[in-house]
Amino acid sequence: MSFENLTDREKRVLQNLIVHYVQTADPVGSRVIANKYRMGLSPATIRNTMQDLEELGLIAQPHTSAGRVPTDTGYRVFVDTLLKAEPLTEADRGKIKVLMSGSKGGIDAILGQASKVLGEITSQLGISIAPRFDEGVLTRLDLIPISEGKILVIIAVKSGLARSILMEFESGIPIDELRQMELVLNERLSGLTLGHIRKTISERLADTGLSPKLLKLFVNAESEIWQDRNQSILHATGTDNLIKQPEFADRDKLSSLMKALEEKKELIEFINSKSIGEGIVITIGSENDLDQMQSCSVVASKYRAGNVSGTIGIIGPTRMPYSRLISIVEYTAKSLTKALSGS
């Protein structure tokens, strides 16, 4: 399983092969590696090494008389052990700075902008996922009567997130009662995380003198108010980049990938499940749980907004310039954290 015992030569061949393949998208032959990358060896020798690498499952031949292409495992080894961190170019850094600073008007707009920046700079699909509210600390809860039987619930969370939910009842509710409710809710709940609230809501509101009819809506732990499924927002920008990639020449493949992208819920769950710890997380091809993404890689990183955190990153074909992308995603995540936290 471990590929630590690769010879130095094998490593260099793998590295050069991947670098070249990422650029050209064409299977790489022994001659190219021997000549273009000046390894001081003849193509024949390279060929022998390539045979070894193929036996190890790191590279593969599309057909007999073609060069080799990296396998998912090959990319994995490359990413884990061979990757040289490529520093961000001054140009890229500048672009990110400019584009990220120009975005105002609420976290949602900023996240949209972030995904756009990522998509544009990397020529991949840029994505951003809004923070999960579960860890968010409630700062204020508003109840706004809309019409007979409808109220708008607004939940504001520390660090500038807010979301609104439209609730319905059978019958109208006196405005006084609503005010009262609002007061009590704010009093008893603000300062707590939404996750915490969900678990303890029934106890916390047990002894209020409020109308049980109204109360029922909030006390229910299953109430939509305290859930954040349906609510984590996913932005994805740069599908046109994806379409241009040769790996998506197959329309069916492209179509099913796009469908998966629109099925946001699953995608969000998947990406969140991978991006647990700190730092960059890379998922390559068959490592992806989603069927439609078996030929894609994901480079993702967390960002913070106060004490909640979300994920941004890029999606593209497994053949992607990992080292460059890592720097970009990393830096963008940092910029985003900065833009969202109290600067």
Confirm if 17 and 68 have CB atoms less than 8 A apart. Answer: yes
- C-alpha to C-alpha distance for 140 and 48, rounded to whole angstroms: 67
Q: How far is the CB of 137 from a copy of itself (least distance, A)?
A: 11
Please give the residue ranges that form the binding site for a copy of itself (CB under 8 A).
104-107, 109-110, 116, 139-140, 142, 144-150, 152, 154, 156, 158-160, 162-166, 168, 224, 230-231, 237-240, 243-244, 249, 251, 254-256, 258-259, 262, 306, 341-343
Nearer to DNA, 44 or 175 (CB): 44
CB contact set of 277 (below 8 Å; sequence gap of 6+): none
Q: How far apart are CA 217 and CA 143, in angstroms?
A: 12
Residue owning tokens 């998208």: 25
226 phi and psi, to 5 degrees?
-95, -5
The site string for DNA over 270-309 (x = CB under 7 A, - otherwise) reads: ----------------------------------------
Owner of token pair 């670098």: 19
Structure tokens at 44: 């024949």
Partner that binds at residue 256, options DNA, a copy of itself, none, CB closer than 5 to 8 Å by kind: a copy of itself
* Interatomic CA distance for residues 9 and 28, integer angstroms: 17
- CA dist 289 and 337 (Å) reads 28
Segment lying near DNA (by CB under 7 A), choices 43-51, 89-97, 169-177, 285-293:
43-51
If binding is defined by CB under 7 A, does position 51 make contact with DNA? yes
* Residue 156 interaction partner, one of DNA, a copy of itself, none, beta carbon < 5-8 Å per kind: a copy of itself
Which neighbouring-strand residues pair with 312?
128, 301
d(C-alpha 141, C-alpha 153), whole Å = 7
Residue with tokens 């991006």: 275
| Near DNA by CB under 7 A: residue from 41, 118, 320, 333 | 41
Q: Which does 164 bind (CB under 5 to 8 A by kind): a copy of itself, DNA, none?
A: a copy of itself
Binding mask 20-39 for DNA (x = CB under 7 A): ------xxxxxxx-------
Nearest to 315 by CA among 264, 276, 278: 264
Shorter beta-carbon distance to DNA: residue 36 or 265? 36
Total number of residues binding DNA (CB under 7 A)?
25
Residues in Cβ contact with 111 at an 8 Å cutoff, skipping those fewer than 6 apart: 128, 129, 130, 233, 235, 310, 312, 336
The residue to which tokens 């890379």 are assigned: 282
Binding at 337: pick from a copy of itself, DNA, none (beta carbon under 5-8 Å per type): none
State yes or no: residue 48 binds DNA (CB under 7 A): yes
CB of 114 to DNA, least distance (A): 38
Beta carbon of residue 113, minimum distance to DNA (angstroms, whole number): 40
71 binds DNA (CB under 7 A): no
Residues that bind DNA (CB under 7 A): 26-32, 40-45, 47-48, 50-51, 54, 61, 63-68
